[in-house]
Amino acid sequence: MVMSETITKQKRVAAIFESFNKHLKNFLEETKPNHEEYTEFVKWADRLGKTGELPLFMDVFIETHVLRSMYSDKPGTEPSLLGPFYLEDAPVLEKPYKLPMRDNEKGEKLIFSGTVRNIDGEPLANTLVDMWHDDADGEYSAFGADAPDYNLRGRFYTDENGYFEVESIVPIPYQIPTQGATGEFLEIMGQHPYRPAHLHIMFEQEGYETLITQVFFEGDEWLESDVADGVRSSLLTKLHDNGDHKSASLDFVMRNK
Ligand code: MBD
Ligand code: FE
């Protein structure tokens, strides 16, 4: 980083932390926790960190608010949560695109397709698409799944018409871990631990803002009460039944930088 960027960043961190402190003070004056409650909280937060659940907790409870305040009135496809299970460097696929999967991968075959355009409606050829999702046991590879590291994760490109088509399996609703500090918190809040089934999808194109979003399926029982509040109605698609496989599609719009 050059010197001026470092200074800009320091100012930004200081401003955010000052605001955090101000609101924290108001929040504590309002809720008046006693010292025992404070100590209990510190122990809980320590468990959260030590068990590696901090990114999970943040992405379930905080990330949606960051996105909403960043993007509330901008054109283009609405972003949704990156979540804690993204891996950089997923394999780059060859056509016909198919996410890496085990020979005996459980689940229903899915063909997912879409077209990527800019806000003027022009197709964006050669856009890098990065897609990942859970398996038929509701697990993400590299995070607890009994599967190779890049299972159900892959990168590929849109064609000259901005179109892509990829084979995978239909994701299932995701249950966030309940045995740790995040689960403890949910239980106290009387909140179930489910996210509706979703595809994670990210688009990168020179001159455009990287688009990180998700795709959801109409009729999913958790759409209205997603524990991570990541559902946006514009990100819903229909799962069509084609006999031997399901298909779904959604078009995406990227914003110029
Ligand atoms: C997920 O699969 C997810 O996408 C988010 C945002 C949080 C927890 C689990
Ligand atoms: Fe997810």
Distance 245 CA to ligand 1 centre (A): 26
**Per-residue pLDDT for 38 more than 90?**
yes
**Per-residue pLDDT for 77 more than 70?**
yes
Q: Does the Cβ of 84 fall within 6 Å of ligand 1? A: yes
Q: Does the Cβ of 133 fall within 6 Å of ligand 1? A: no
Annotated domain spans of the chain: 66-254
Range 190-213 average pLDDT: 98
Tens digit of pLDDT for each residue in 203-221?
A: 999 999 999 999 999 999 9
Provide the β-strand partners of residue 92: 155
Tens digit of pLDDT for each residue in 99-158?
A: 999 999 999 999 999 999 999 999 999 999 999 999 999 999 999 878 998 999 999 999
Quote the percentage of the chain above a pLDDT of 90. Answer: 93
Model ipTM value: 0.97
Distance 134 CA to ligand 2 centre (A): 7
Residue nearest to atom 4 of ligand 1 (CA): 83
pLDDT of residue 210: 97
For the domain with range 66-254, which CATH number is right: 3.30.1600.10, 3.30.930.10, 2.40.128.30, 2.60.130.10?
2.60.130.10
Amino acid at 96: P
pLDDT of residue 1: 67
Q: Which atom of ligand 1 is nearest to the CA of 214?
A: 4
pTM of the prediction? 0.95
